[in-house]
A and B are shown apart, each in its own frame.
Chain A
Amino acid sequence: MQAHRPIGAFSFFGRYRVIDFPVSNMTNSGMDRIYVYVRERPRSLTEHLGTGRHYNINSKRGRLQIMFSEKSLVNDVYNTDIADYAENLDIISRSHYPYVIIAPSYMIFKQDFSALLDTHIESGADVTLLYHKVDNAREKFLNCDVLNLNKQKGVLSIEKNRGNTKDRSIFMDTYVMSKDLFIELVVQAQRLSSMYTLPQILNLNCENLDVRGVAHRGYFATITDFKSYYDANLSLLDLKQAQDLFDEEWPIYTRTTDSCPTQYFAGSDVHNSVIANGCLVEGTVENSVIGRCCQIKKGAVVRNSVVLANSVIGEGVHIENQVVDKWAQIIHAKEVIADPDKPGYVKRDDTL
């Protein structure tokens, strides 16, 4: 899936893109100066974000800016978050806002950042980090950073989750600090080593800086690989989880495609699924997430799958445990079934 777009631009849960979550969290929190860092394949993301108007950013006082950075072709180790920030440091230093809040574009969660900022300021900490306590860190979140905290929630160190303990405080790649401190850290990282990332430079400074952790509660998912993408989508088929993440008072905005409502024909059989608008459903859909404008033809069976927008599941086709990328058509292949532990992927624009 990354062949076509960065994770932030991945379609999620029928009508969203992953980037909608951090941006909506920010605009709902009253933040209207937002910078989105993009390094490669920016087309889907920039098209989706546009001017940011649909996220409810004030058209005069607010700004959503997309910050490109050159991807190093020499060596991938140079492609760090610090490198992205360093390349745009002039813009950051010129901004008149005293604080910086950084949020990841590959995690799904709801968070009031203005409340987090208040907590940060009240605590007097230099840096506040958001984390989520989990008890399955042995099997999940293996590509994430974890925080080691003392009893007062002070951060002792930040390290990679090596899957050796089940109870961990997963770092949500969300930081609050003063703009000046942020710039200092970026400059320091560059000086010390081109390979340093922000978590690493922060880890180095845990002793001389007051770094505190704040716990996040509520739905939380990370999208770091194909399986976690598949799992995150299907986890929201649990209505309670979905209603926790999607709150009427905290809308998650996205770009509309003006699709009409979905039509269910006689003979359609749908259970425990979430269907976006614009679809034509004639077949069977179970435990699946269907994106906009899909066609599930007569006799088709879709189970435990995530079907992205504009796809066609042809007559009599049976798919299970798949992620079907946009514009794909599964017509000739009558059975596309994968192992539940290893869901399959049907390429974008592909015809099977």
Chain B
Amino acid sequence: MKQNNMLAMILAGGRGSRLHELTNKVAKPAVSYGGKYRIVDFPLSNCANSGIDVVGVLTQYESVLLNSYVAAGQRWGLDTKDSGVYVLPPREKADAGLDVYRGTADAISQNIDFIDSYNPEYLLILSGDHIYKMNYAKMLDYHKEHNADATIAVIGVPIKEASRFGIMNTDETGRILEFEEKPAQPKSNLASMGIYIFNWKLLRKLLVSDMKNPDSHHDFGKDIIPTLLNDGRTLVAYQFKGYWKDVGTIDSLWEANMDLLDEKNELDLNDPTWKIYTEDVSALPQYIGPNASINRAFITQGCIVKGEVKNSVLFTGATVGEGAKVIDSVLMPGAIVEDGAVVTRALVADGIRIGKDAVVGSADSENILLVAKRVKGVE
């Protein structure tokens, strides 16, 4: 942790209920994205590339897969001496019973002892359910330059969407004057990304008193940030420019995957200077059959494409049979589309089989169809 004296905590505890069956058995950060990644690979890789080598991952809901996945720190190069990825589920303590994390701030509060053992000067809080690339070391530089007590990363959103977000109103220097959660009349278009840097000593004090407050929601946005503002502390907004996508619904997860097909995709996973690391899988390079037809697609190792693939993303080991058509769709790892089947505007979950000649989804559907159960073929 010597590099920048900053420890990162990824909040990965959410249910992700709007992803339905995709999160039936796994936490949202473990959900697949982009052909070969899991959502949590993004904050973890960003940390590794930013020189942050101690990362705590706060998990809660259905965390077995996520726990074992992130524990292998070497996947992101977070395995040098004194570094690592630490899974932090709720635990029973000597002076308190086993309790769930009651809010984003509470998750940190319950792990004060973990953070103290590293004694960092700064604490970086990240959410585990966004797709983006960011250099947190640059954000820390900004935080130090402004002598801030806390820095919040913000991104410009279209003003007509601003009411969906926590909006920051700032002065010309970037100092935050006001913070409004989902305002009906937004005064600015700078939305909080849920990424914060705090001076640890100060935050620690606030968390300790917040824990004792029975009226608190124990939430950063609802409690900690407003308290800092009211106390006259220096909060600054760090403007992020780049691709940033929430993948909390089936539609937005599908959209985020489709964005990868753009010629000028802002996310640019191909950039060798900022690689996104993930679990290394032993699989053959993708095989494209003699009668295959591919038009705008993002395909990874282990895939076998014998049919038509158009405007689609195929994840590891997905297969498309002879005469089958996959259009405007996302096939998650191991999804099988048998001969002659047609899949349109759908997101097919891990390992799901679409039977021979079956027809799934339609071109003019308003929402994306989530296929999470086997579809029988046509007899």
Chain B residues in 8 Å Cβ range of A263: 260-261, 270, 297-298
Given A258-B277, A260-B270, A260-B276, decide whether A271 and B289 contact each other with a Cβ distance below 8 A: yes
Residue of A nearest to B271 (CB): A260
Q: Is the CB of B288 closer than 8 A to any CB of chain A?
A: yes
* Residue from the set B270, B275, B288 with the largest chain A CB neighbour count within 10 Å: B288
Contacting pair B285 A275 (CB below 8 A): yes
Among A251, A256, A264, the residue within 8 A (CB) of B295 is A264
Q: Is the CB of A308 closer than 8 A to any CB of chain B?
A: no
Report how many residues on chain B are interfacial, defined by Cβ distance under 8 Å: 35
Residue of A nearest to B303 (CB): A261
Which residues in window 252-288 of A have CB below 8 A to B? Answer: 252-254, 256, 258, 260-278, 280, 285
Q: Is the CB of B286 closer than 8 A to any CB of chain A?
A: yes
Chain A residues in 8 Å Cβ range of B293: 269
Among A253, A260, A285, the residue within 8 A (CB) of B269 is A260
Contacting pair A276 B285 (CB below 8 A): yes
Contacting pair B288 A261 (CB below 8 A): no
Chain A residues in 8 Å Cβ range of B261: 263
Complex: A269 Cα to B34 Cα, angstroms = 22
Chain A residues in 8 Å Cβ range of B295: 264, 266-268
Contacting pair B296 A278 (CB below 8 A): no
Q: Is the CB of B68 closer than 8 A to any CB of chain A?
A: no
> A111 to nearest B CB, angstroms?
17
Q: Is the CB of A89 closer than 8 A to any CB of chain B?
A: no
Chain A residues in 8 Å Cβ range of B277: 258
Given A263-B261, A280-B270, decide whether A271 and B292 contact each other with a Cβ distance below 8 A: yes
Given A242-B287, A260-B35, A260-B36, decide whether A270 and B294 contact each other with a Cβ distance below 8 A: yes
Please classify the interface of chain B as helix (H, G, I), strand (E, B), loop, or mixed, using the class held by over half of its residues.
Answer: loop
Chain B residues in 8 Å Cβ range of A213: none
Complex: A265 Cα to B314 Cα, angstroms = 14
Contacting pair B285 A274 (CB below 8 A): yes
Chain B residues in 8 Å Cβ range of A261: 34-36, 269, 298-301, 313-314
Chain A residues in 8 Å Cβ range of B292: 270-271
Contacting pair A14 B285 (CB below 8 A): yes
Chain A residues in 8 Å Cβ range of B286: 262, 274-277
Given A272-B289, A278-B270, A280-B270, decide whether A252 and B282 contact each other with a Cβ distance below 8 A: yes
* Residue from the set A15, A54, A293 with the largest chain B CB neighbour count within 10 Å: A15
Q: Is the CB of B65 closer than 8 A to any CB of chain A?
A: no
> A332 to nearest B CB, angstroms?
24
Q: Is the CB of A226 closer than 8 A to any CB of chain B?
A: no
20 further A-B pairs in the complex, CB-CB below 8 A; given A252-B282, A271-B292: A54-B280, A239-B289, A242-B284, A260-B36, A260-B276, A261-B314, A263-B260, A263-B270, A264-B297, A266-B295, A268-B294, A268-B295, A269-B294, A270-B294, A271-B290, A274-B284, A274-B286, A275-B285, A276-B301, A277-B285
Binding site for B on A (CB under 8 A): 13-15, 54, 239, 242, 246, 251-254, 256, 258, 260-278, 280, 285, 289, 293
